[in-house]
Amino acid sequence: MKKYAIFWGCMIPQRLPSVEIATRKVFEKLGLEIVEMEGYSCCPDPIVGRYMDRKTALAISARNLAIAEKKGLDTVVLCNGCYETLWEAREDLEDKEQRKEVNSVLSKIGRTYEGKNKVRHIVEVLGDDIGVSEIKKLVKNPIKAKLAVHYGCHLFRASEGEDMWRKPNQLTDLVAATGAQINRSKLDQICCGFPTSHVNEEYSMNSNLMPKMEAYQQMGTEGVVVCCPACNVQMEIGQMSLKKYGKKYSMPVFHLMELLALSFGVPPKELSLGVHRSPVQQLAERMV
Amino acid sequence: MAGETNNSGINFELRKDIINVDKNIVKCFQCGTCVSSCVASFVLSPGKYSPRQTILKALYGSELAFKDKNLWMCGNCYHCYERCPKGVHPTDVLGKLKEISFSMGQAPQPVVDRVNNILSTGRALSIAGSELVRGRVGMSKLEEFKFAPEIKKIAELTKGGKK
């Protein structure tokens, strides 16, 4: 049984535990084992928290990576934000001098980081290790709905020479594999507005989220699939905040893992979709 | 950031710091590909946000580069990073500027609050209220983060998170 160390991050356990439930079901169906990363902390988040101080942030990230490394496993993330922070930290720590510096801090708390393992997004793991064709074989309940795919900014983070569309395209392929019809819009790449919502709510709502919602509605989109819990929370809470600006939407937004679990035949009731702040439960019952 | 700003508004230390982050920045010829790729520029009203201008200010070592509150509108989407014909990494430059902005006490209050939360509790969000969500799906209450002292120690050793 192949093992993966899953980095749950902050958003999933605290705001969207349904994603954790769905991930466990999907891994079970795929015959993969989840290894817990005991003692992980915030990654720290790439847009706000990480700019506290480079050295501090790098040491916190290295501490997280060291937990998976001790188990000899790659860190697999379900969140684009965690992906960016941890991926970049790993990249920076390839540099021996920086690693030495970070290790001098980590040694004081009884940890060490060698840089042996990788950081991977769940989209990559499913696309590369499992393969879209294998996923297709497991689909029991083809999804009958028109869904939009929201990639999320940091999914575009790519190594030197790697196609920046590789992971976003994998995400689209995975959604298509469940049988869903994909509604594309030219606003698919636009940020959900989460990173800027702390700094300027009006901008984040009116300039990012509203045009996206407007486009989804015009195209008859029934739901939005994301691969990041922060985008998910922003798009759901954001729809509630948009009422202030005189706009009413009720667009279900949910995580890729929930979509996969539903298509693999997990009954919607077992997924606790009620924690969502958008009508995901209703859509789930309709589309499978 | 150390160093004095001279009468012409140039801070050579800032310029050095920026070039250290991204050597390619000196190759910037202000073509504007970053602006046309930028999703923040796309949705903000014209002229309100321009990575090209921020890069120029940073190159000059002008303090205006990190004093601009719109700096925090960048969502790190990496479109400029990928598309720059000269291999400049605007995302890294903007990141450094955000870091400087934080250390100079210019960061917006929510940013400061978030950092304090991470350094004191180890989590980006407060766990208050999360038991309501988790309880509804039959999951156990989250425990206080046991390893918070480790995070505090890291912050202490690296002297981070102080504005």
Domain check: are B114 and B93 in the same one? no
| pLDDT value of position B128 | 76
* C-alpha torsion A14→A239→A189→B45, nearest 10: -120
For B103, the 3-state DSSP assignment is: helix
Q: Tell the burial category of A24 from Cβ atoms under 10 Å away from its Cβ (0-12, 13-18, 19+).
A: middle
Asked whether residue B4 is domain-assigned, the answer is no
Residue with tokens 């015009």: A218
User: Smallest CA–CA separation between A92 and chain B, in Å?
Assistant: 12
Domains observed in chain A: 3-122 (1.20.1050.140), 131-287 (3.40.50)
| Nearest alpha carbon to residue A181 among A155, A214, A212, A143 | A143
- Written as six digits, the tokens of A263 are 């298509």
Instruction: Mutate one of B94, B97, B133 to test the A interface: name it (highest A CB count within 10 A).
Output: B133
Residues 6+ apart with CB under 8 A from A95: none
Buried b or exposed e, range A106-135, using 16+ CB within 10 angstroms = beebebebebebebbbbbbbbbeebeeeeb
Last residue of a domain, one of B86, B103, B120: B103
Stated pTM of the model: 0.90
- Contact residues, chain A, for B134 at CB < 8 Å: 13, 17
- Tell me how far apart the alpha carbons of residues A281 and A18 are, in angstroms, rounded to a whole number: 11
CA torsion sign for B152, B158, B161, B163 is positive
Query: Are the beta carbons of A255 and A229 closer than 8 angstroms?
Result: yes
Domain check: are B16 and B78 in the same one? yes
Q: A51 touching B, CB under 8 A? A: yes
Q: B57 touching A, CB under 8 A? A: no
Count how many Cα atoms sit within 13 Å of the Cα of residue A30 in the half-sphere of its side chain.
27
Domain check: are B18 and B69 in the same one? yes
Q: Which residue of B has its CA nearest to A103?
A: B154
Domain check: are B21 and B65 in the same one? yes
Helix (H) / strand (E) containing A2: strand A2-7
Domain check: are B99 and B117 in the same one? no
Query: Are the beta carbons of A22 and A53 closer than 8 angstroms?
Result: no
Asked whether residue B118 is domain-assigned, the answer is yes
- Tell me how far apart the alpha carbons of residues A79 and B72 are, in angstroms, rounded to a whole number: 21
Instruction: Mutate one of B112, B125, B152 to test the A interface: name it (highest A CB count within 10 A).
Output: B125
Task: Give tens-digit pLDDT for A94-141.
Answer: 999 999 999 999 999 999 999 999 999 999 999 999 999 999 999 999
Q: Average pLDDT in the A245-266 region?
A: 95
Residues 6+ apart with CB under 8 A from A2: A31, A32, A33, A129
Domain check: are B116 and B89 in the same one? no
Buried b or exposed e, range B130-144, using 16+ CB within 10 angstroms = beebbeebebeeeee
Asked whether residue B18 is domain-assigned, the answer is yes
Report cis status (omega within 30 of 0) of the bond before A44: yes
Total structural domains within chain B: 2
Residue with tokens 């934000």: A81
| Nearest alpha carbon to residue A5 among A42, A24, A33, A30 | A33
Domain check: are B21 and B42 in the same one? yes
| pLDDT value of position A202 | 83
Asked whether residue B1 is domain-assigned, the answer is no
Task: Give tens-digit pLDDT for A1-19.
Answer: 899 999 999 999 989 999 9
The more confidently predicted of residues A152 and B146 is A152
| pLDDT value of position B1 | 61
- Contact residues, chain B, for A158 at CB < 8 Å: 78, 82
Domain check: are B138 and B93 in the same one? no
Q: Average pLDDT in the A220-242 region?
A: 95
Domain check: are B113 and B61 in the same one? no
Task: Give tens-digit pLDDT for A21-45.
Answer: 999 999 999 999 999 999 999 999 8
Using CB atoms and an 8 Å cut-off, which of residues 92-131 of chain B contact chain A? 95, 98-99, 101-103, 107-108, 110-111, 114-115, 118-119, 122-125, 127, 130
| pLDDT value of position B2 | 64
Domain check: are B65 and B46 in the same one? yes
Domain check: are B93 and B116 in the same one? no
Label residue A167 left, alpha or beta by phi (over 0 means left) and psi (-120 to 50 means alpha): alpha
Domain span including residue B123? 109-161
Averaged pLDDT of chain A = 93
* Complex ipTM tops 0.90: no
Q: Average pLDDT in the A142-156 region?
A: 94
Asked whether residue B155 is domain-assigned, the answer is yes
| pLDDT value of position B162 | 59
- Contact residues, chain A, for B157 at CB < 8 Å: 59, 105, 108
Q: What percent of chain A has pLDDT over 70?
A: 100
User: What does the pLDDT profile of chain B (163 residues) look like in tens digits?
Assistant: 667 778 778 889 999 999 999 999 999 999 999 999 888 887 776 777 899 999 999 999 998 898 888 888 888 888 898 899 999 999 999 999 999 999 988 888 989 988 998 998 888 887 777 887 888 878 888 777 788 889 989 999 987 655 4
Domain check: are B98 and B122 in the same one? no
